[in-house]
Structure 1
Amino acid sequence: MRVRRVVGSGKRQETYAVVDDDGQVVEIVDDYLAVCTDREYSPNTIRARAHDLKIWLVFLRMLGIDLLEATPEHVDQFAGWLRRPIPAGGLRAVEADDLPGREASTVNRALDSVWMFYEFLARRGLGMGLHTGRVRPARTGDHRGFLAGIAAGSVTERPTRLKETKRRPSTLTDSEVQRILDSCAHLRDRLLMSMMFETGCRVGQALGLRHEDVNTDQRTITLRPRDNNVNRARGKSRDPKQIPVRQTLLELYTDYLFTEYGELDCDYVFVSLWDGNGATPMSYWAVMSLVKRLRRRAGIDFHPHQFRHTHATALLRAGVRLEVAAELLTHSSTRTTSDIYGHLDTDDVVDELERTGFWGAR
Structure 2
Amino acid sequence: MYVRRVVGAGARRETYTVVDGDGRVVEMVDDYLALCTDREHSPNTLRARAFDLKAWLVFLYLLGLDPLTASPEHVDQFAGWLRRPVQPGRLRSADTDSGPAREASTVNRALNSVYMFYEFLARRGVGMGAQLIHRRATSIGDHGGFLAGIAERQVTVRPTRLKQTKRRPPTLTDAEVQQILDACDRVRDRLLMALMFETGCRIGQALALRHEDINTDRRTLTLRPREDNANRARGKSRDPKEIPVRCTLLDLYTDYLFAEYGELDCDYVFVNLWNGVVGTPMGYWAAMSLVKRLRRRTGIDFHPHQFRHTHATALLRAGVRLEVASELLTHGSVRTTAEIYGHLDVDDLAEELDRVGFRGLR
Post-superposition CA distance 1:310-329 (Å, at most 9, x none) = 00000000001111111100
Task: Quote the Cα distance in structure 2 between the aligned partners of 1:322 and 1:88.
Answer: 48
Counterpart position of 2:320: 320
Post-superposition CA distance 1:237-294 (Å, at most 9, x none) = 1111011000000000000000000000100000111114121111111111110000
Structure 1 residue 96, shift from structure 2 partner: 5.3
Give runs of aligned pairs for residues 139-154 of structure 1, distance below 5 A.
139-154=139-154
Q: Which amino acid aligns with 1:106?
A: T
C-alpha contact (below 8 Å) 1:104/1:163 kept by paired residues: yes
Structure 1 stretch 141-150 or stretch 343-352: which is displaced more? 343-352
Structure 1 residue 87, shift from structure 2 partner: 2.0
Task: Quote the Cα distance in structure 2 between the aligned partners of 1:78 and 1:350.
Answer: 42
Matched residue SS, 2:47: helix
Counterpart position of 1:77: 77
C-alpha contact (below 8 Å) 1:213/1:221 kept by paired residues: yes
Task: Quote the Cα distance in structure 1 between the aligned partners of 2:200 and 2:88.
Answer: 44
Structure 1 residue 12, shift from structure 2 partner: 1.0
Structure 1 stretch 146-155 or stretch 117-126: which is displaced more? 146-155
TM-score of the superposed pair, with normalisation by structure 1: 0.98
Structure 1 residue 361, shift from structure 2 partner: 4.0
Post-superposition CA distance 1:133-187 (Å, at most 9, x none) = 1111212222211111112221101121111111111000000000000000100
Counterpart position of 2:218: 218
Structure 1 residue 113, shift from structure 2 partner: 0.5
Task: Quote the Cα distance in structure 2 between the aligned partners of 1:359 and 1:12.
Answer: 56
TM-score of the superposed pair, with normalisation by structure 2: 0.98
Post-superposition CA distance 1:5-50 (Å, at most 9, x none) = 1111111111111111111111111111110111111111111111
Structure 1 stretch 129-138 or stretch 45-54: which is displaced more? 129-138
Post-superposition CA distance 1:166-216 (Å, at most 9, x none) = 111100000000000000010000000000000000000000000000001
Task: Quote the Cα distance in structure 1 between the aligned partners of 2:198 and 2:191.
Answer: 10
Matched residue SS, 2:17: strand
Structure 2 residue runs of 5 or longer lacking an equivalent are none
Counterpart position of 1:119: 119
Residues 1:13 and 2:13 aligned together: yes
Give runs of aligned pairs for residues 1-362 of structure 1, distance below 5 A.
1-95=1-95, 97-362=97-362
Structure 1 residue 132, shift from structure 2 partner: 2.0
Structure 1 residue 90, shift from structure 2 partner: 2.6
May I ask how many residue pairs the two structures share in their alignment? 362
Task: Quote the Cα distance in structure 2 between the aligned partners of 1:23 and 1:194.
Answer: 46
Task: Quote the Cα distance in structure 1 between the aligned partners of 2:236 and 2:95.
Answer: 41
- The structure-2 alpha-carbon separation of the partners of 1:315 and 1:169, relative to structure 1 and needing over 3 Å to count, comes to same
Structure 1 stretch 114-123 or stretch 342-351: which is displaced more? 342-351
C-alpha contact (below 8 Å) 1:77/1:88 kept by paired residues: no
Matched residue SS, 1:243: strand
Matched residue SS, 1:358: coil
Task: Quote the Cα distance in structure 2 between the aligned partners of 1:95 and 1:135.
Answer: 41
Structure 1 residue 97, shift from structure 2 partner: 4.6
Structure 1 segments of 4+ aligned residues over 4 angstroms from their partners: none
Matched residue SS, 2:94: coil
- The structure-2 alpha-carbon separation of the partners of 1:68 and 1:97, relative to structure 1 and needing over 3 Å to count, comes to closer
TM-align CA RMSD: 1.1
Task: Quote the Cα distance in structure 2 between the aligned partners of 1:88 and 1:131.
Answer: 24
Matched residue SS, 1:242: strand
Matched residue SS, 1:156: strand
C-alpha contact (below 8 Å) 1:81/1:88 kept by paired residues: no
Q: Which amino acid aligns with 1:159?
A: P
Task: Quote the Cα distance in structure 1 between the aligned partners of 2:350 and 2:77.
Answer: 45
Task: Quote the Cα distance in structure 2 between the aligned partners of 1:170 and 1:33.
Answer: 33
Task: Quote the Cα distance in structure 1 between the aligned partners of 2:324 and 2:135.
Answer: 34
Q: Which amino acid aligns with 1:278?
A: V
